[in-house]
Amino acid sequence: MQLPMIIHTLFDRYNFRGKTITPFTTSAESPMSASMPYIRDMARPYNATVLNGFRYDGNNTALRNWLQGLNLIK
């Protein structure tokens, strides 16, 4: 239920101040809902916006719907 260390390193090295974070994963081990609290906690000091995450499982329709719902694609 922990994020990969590379995500912690990314937050240590990159300034997310005022940025929008759109998390996604291809891991089938745990749902995004398990990781979202950690991502939100790491983003909080930067006052970054964290959008709802998505776990891609090969369903391209679900991926397209998620991206459209975030207004990232038409």
Burial, 22: exposed, middle or buried (Cβ in 10 Å; 0-12, 13-18, 19+)? middle
Domain extents in the chain: 5-69
- Under a CB-based contact definition with an 8 Å cutoff, are residues 63 and 53 in contact? no
The closest alpha carbon to 38, from 47, 50, 55, 26, belongs to: 50
Q: Is the pLDDT confidence value at 28 over 80?
A: no
Taking the model in full, what pTM does it have? 0.80
Q: Is the pLDDT confidence value at 1 over 70?
A: no
Q: What percent of the chain has pLDDT over 90?
A: 62
pLDDT at 2: 73
| Centroid of chain to Cα 37 | 10
Of residues 1 and 63, more confidently modeled: 63
Task: With cut-offs at 50, 70 and 90, classify the pLDDT of residue 59.
Answer: very high
Judged by DSSP in three states, 14 sits in: coil
